[in-house]
Chains A and B, each alone.
Chain A
Amino acid sequence: MDASAATVTGDRSVLERSPAARLPDRILKWGLTALAVLILALLVYFFVRLIGESRLAFSKFGLSFIFANNWNVATNTYEAWALVVGTLITSAIALLLGVPVAVATALFLTELCPVRLRSGFAVMVDLLAAVPSVVYGLWGVFFLCPKLLPAEKWFASTFSFIPWIGGGTPTLYNVFIAGLILAIMILPIVSAISREVLTTVPRDNKEAALALGATRWEMMRMAVLPYSKAGIAGGAMLGLGRAIGETIAVVLVVGNAPQIPKHLFNQGYTLAAVIANEFGEASNVAIHSSALFACGLVLFVLTLFVNFFARRIVVRGTTDKRRRRLPRRKGAAKVAAPAVEAGSG
């Protein structure tokens, strides 16, 4: 075609590869694209199948599957409000206990800790994420639950005037212990993300605060924390997503009673725990297994929802701040989804 280009055979340029030589390139490109499409297809397929399997439960109980409180295997009644509440209560306890400690740890590591010790200490906090959840469950059952029971009894009777928090008789396994173990499990995640976010605070802001006469803490409160608020909130939400879906550690210590906990140290149940605990007996009863699949679906949607918002907040909290940062430091910290290192179920 092009008269100026030297041609070998017909209309092919000398610089052009033969179609046969271009084939591996095409294969690579479309092969890799197919892998990416595969992920999408898998997730959609799973979602559709999960809806299909839980249809029986939803058609029998309707919306009261979620909003009515009556989970009774003996009478084949599956209304999961108590499980939803249990999931929310244990996750809330985990956030209340875990997030302040995680953020404080991150602040300590980025602002106060001597540089020499920093990476070593950070590795130690990250190691909390390397312990599998079944090992936390083991530790919870044989160490934490029996050791904390006297303290819980003392607390419940001393503060019995506070509704729900105090009063009642603590049971060996209860929602507080489950929340406490969840707090330990989300701590490394929230702390790692908070650290990422805190390192993006421009040095100038911090030094300006110090130059104006702020103490170290005032500098953190006025220059560091407001700047990284959104990112930390996103990290906390990722921790929440993790806490909602956590299974094995919770099923071992939450008590597995399908009731709304009457007080802080009472037994409860969560969506994930009910699936793990009742799956074996349910496989022969269609409505029971369908109800468990429906629990899985609720759990799936709940975590999708939480993660969706969390990612948006984290991305917003880290990217446009990096754009605004004036002098790029050498080896700018890479912001990535933190590699979580051990089992979550």
Chain B
Amino acid sequence: MTVSKLPEISARRRRTDKFMRGTLVAAFVLALIPLVLVIYYLIYKGIGTWSKSFFTTDPNGNFFGYPGGARSAILGSIEIVGLASLISIPIGIGVALYLVEYGKQTAFANFVRYLTDVMTGVPSIVFGLFIYIVLVEAKVGGSGFTAWKGSIAVALLMLPVVARSAEVVLLLVPGSLREAALALGAPRWRVVWRIVLPTARSGLVTGSLLAIARGMGETAPLLFTTAGVFGLTFNLNAQMNAMPLQIYNDILSPRTEVNNRAWGIALVLVTLILILNLLARAVSRRSRVA
């Protein structure tokens, strides 16, 4: 029996390999610990504050007794982010269309691409300051702090997310589809409207949903633009409450009941964001099959 055998890997090298593999697994588990802890505490502390009155009353700011629910914060967030989406999604997709259909690899298009990347990196608080300087301090629209200014600040944060994800998706639309339509005599705008956008629809929806999810959780820009109030309002040209603002204010409160409400609102907020993320994933998965 003379089977030639490869020399065995030395014990030291095997030990190192095992140790490093173990370290990598440990690092992965370590990375998940904060996620588990955050979600556990959100549910543990938050679910108890959910009640009928939590969803049907507004925070009241009283020093004693029931501190009120979170209705104005939840509805305010939806209003502010809704308007922000109406602003940022069309503009973002428009910019992406410019980059893919017209700009392509020209120097200007690459510069715009670079700028959208830069915008992703600008801290959200700086966008808050911008809007404060340009719109709040100047009292545009008659009053200082208003909800629509917060929407614009949030829209500025969502814009690069929408634009960059839309560009990736639009690039995936096969050139042959565009050429076929053009060869049949369709004008450019009709090609964009009837061929490019519908083909990329699910990808665009995914990117937009992720951007909305991001906009939902923003606190810093709202701090300088909408300046939360307790009451419920549907007037976008007035101060408005929002979930992140109410959480922030509730954390700073010395009252335990108010602190607990922060957990409840945070649970609502994170649940909404997770739903948006799951929706986005579901939409993008469906598109990959088709």
Contacts and interface: CB of A to CB of B under 8 A. Distances in A.
- Asked if chains A and B come from one complex, the reply is yes
Contacts of A38: 91
A247 B121 contact: no
Contacts of B213: 130, 341-342
Interface of A: 17, 21-22, 24-25, 27-29, 31-33, 35-36, 38-40, 42-43, 45-46, 49-50, 53, 100-102, 104-105, 107-109, 111-113, 121, 123-125, 127-128, 130-139, 141-143, 184, 187, 191, 213, 215-218, 220, 238, 241-242, 244-248, 252, 272, 275-276, 279, 292-293, 296, 299-300, 303-304, 306-308, 310-311, 334, 336-337, 339-345
Interface in B104-119: 108-109, 111-112, 114-119
A272 B125 CA distance: 7
B148 interface: no
B21 A187 contact: no
Given A124-B32, A217-B16, A39 B95 contact: yes
Interface string B94-137: 11011101110000110110111111111111101110011000
Contacts of B263: 138, 142
Contact of B219 (A40, A130, A143, A248): A248
Give the size category of B's interface with A: 35 or more
- The winner among A132, A137, A242, A311 for most chain B CB atoms within 10 A is A132
What DSSP secondary structure best describes chain B's contact surface? helix
A41 to B, nearest CB: 10
A21 to B, nearest CB: 7
Contacts of A191: 31
Contacts of A46: 130, 133-134
Given A38-B91, A107-B24, A276-B220, 12 more contacts: A28-B189, A36-B109, A49-B133, A134-B266, A142-B45, A213-B6, A238-B121, A299-B126, A300-B123, A336-B165, A339-B210, A342-B273
B30 interface: yes
B117 A307 contact: yes
Interface of B: 6, 9, 13-14, 16-17, 20-21, 23-25, 27-28, 30-32, 34-35, 37-38, 41-42, 45, 91, 94-95, 97-99, 101-103, 108-109, 111-112, 114-126, 128-130, 133-134, 156-157, 159, 161, 164-165, 167-168, 172, 187-189, 192, 207, 210-211, 213-221, 223-224, 244, 247-248, 251, 259, 262-263, 266, 269-270, 273-274, 277, 281
